[in-house]
Structure formats: structure tokens, C-alpha cells
């Protein structure tokens, strides 16, 4: 992820009957790469994230390459269950999408259920500094209640 990107903001949007969400233009621009692609990923129950596809793919490929090296060096022989689990998650975790009109995102099947929203339901669009997140409002509220008391400490730790 490039150092010049710093995405913040909180916006409420409504999912339309075709599972489309309009993103704020500045957020959409921040997560669309030069080829017009965006990576949609499953983050945690009730949350999807959007990244520049090029950046996400490079980051993921680095990790996959390391795991391949460990497999070839027989360093994961006793961890096949974990390797298979990782493979299943990698297979379903992300999908490359293109934003319509550079700011409208369609949530594909498999991701809709993970987000846990229905057509005509609100979602929260959150700038998470290095990506944009789409939250089920209830899951977002729960995370805020959990994390907000630690904001000051986290800010001081990361900025100090």
C-alpha cells in the first residue's frame, strides 16, 4: 500500500435491490488501481474491505510465496491441516471487481451473506486508512463499543 493514501471517513449508504452500494468518490478513487480494478475481501463477520487490486495481490503473493517455500523445504509437514485451512480461506476470501462509474460497488454472492445485509438495508462505509470497509451497522457498532475506549492509547502508540 502506498504511503500517500490515508483514507478516513464514515458514511451511511443503502444497499439497493441488486446489492449495489455507491461509495464516496474520493474513497472509490483511493481503492481503484490504474487498470480500474478493486479487490473485495472478507475481513470479519459483518465486514468486507476494498483495496487497490494491484496492492492487495502483491501483498498476498508475498505471503503465498513464503508458504510455498516452506512447503518445498518440508517445514510444514506436521501442519497440513492448517495448510488446507489456509487454502480454503484463500480460495473464498477475495474477488477482483470493477466499480461501475468508478464509485458503485456490487456485492457478489458469497460476500452478501458474509456481510449479513439485505437489499434496502443500510451499511456503513468506513475509511480504514489503508482500505475502505463496508460494515453491517450492528457489527460496526459492536466494534466501536469495543475499540473506542482504546483510541487514545492506540493513537499515541502509532504516532509516537
- Residue range 33-58, pLDDT digits in tens: 888 899 999 999 999 999 999 988 88
Selecting from 3.40.50.12280, 3.40.1550.20, 3.30.360.10, 3.90.110.10, what CATH number does the domain 7-159 have?
3.40.1550.20
Spell out the domain ranges in the chain: 7-159
Q: How many CB atoms lie within 10 A of CB 31?
A: 26
Task: Return the C-alpha cell found at 52.
Answer: 487497490
Mean pLDDT of 74-95: 89
Asked if residue 1 has pLDDT above 60, the reply is no
pTM of the model: 0.88
Q: How does pLDDT run across 2-41, given as a tens digit for each residue?
A: 556 799 999 999 999 999 999 999 999 999 988 889 999 9
Provide the angle, in degrees to the nearest 10, between the axes of the packed helices 80-93 and 53-72: 160
Task: Return the C-alpha cell found at 120.
Answer: 434496502
Burial of 51 per CB tally in 10 Å (0-12, 13-18, 19+): buried
Amino acid at each position: 500500500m502506498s504511503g500517500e493514501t490515508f483514507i478516513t471517513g464514515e458514511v451511511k449508504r443503502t444497499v439497493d435491490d441488486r446489492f449495489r452500494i455507491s461509495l464516496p468518490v474520493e474513497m472509490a478513487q483511493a481503492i481503484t488501481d490504474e487498470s480500474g480494478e478493486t479487490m473485495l475481501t472478507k475481513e470479519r463477520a459483518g465486514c468486507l474491505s476494498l483495496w487497490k487490486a494491484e496492492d492487495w495481490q502483491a501483498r498476498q503473493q508475498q505471503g503465498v510465496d513464503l508458504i510455498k517455500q516452506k512447503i518445498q523445504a518440508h517445514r510444514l509437514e506436521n501442519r497440513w491441516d492448517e495448510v488446507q485451512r489456509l487454502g480454503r480461506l484463500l480460495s473464498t476470501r477475495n474477488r477482483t471487481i470493477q466499480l461501475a462509474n468508478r464509485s458503485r460497488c456490487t456485492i457478489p454472492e458469497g460476500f452478501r451473506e458474509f456481510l449479513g445485509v439485505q437489499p434496502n438495508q443500510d451499511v456503513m462505509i468506513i475509511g480504514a486508512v489503508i482500505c475502505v470497509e463496508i460494515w453491517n451497522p450492528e457489527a460496526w457498532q459492536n466494534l466501536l463499543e469495543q475499540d473506542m475506549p482504546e483510541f487514545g492509547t492506540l493513537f499515541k502508540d502509532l504516532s509516537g
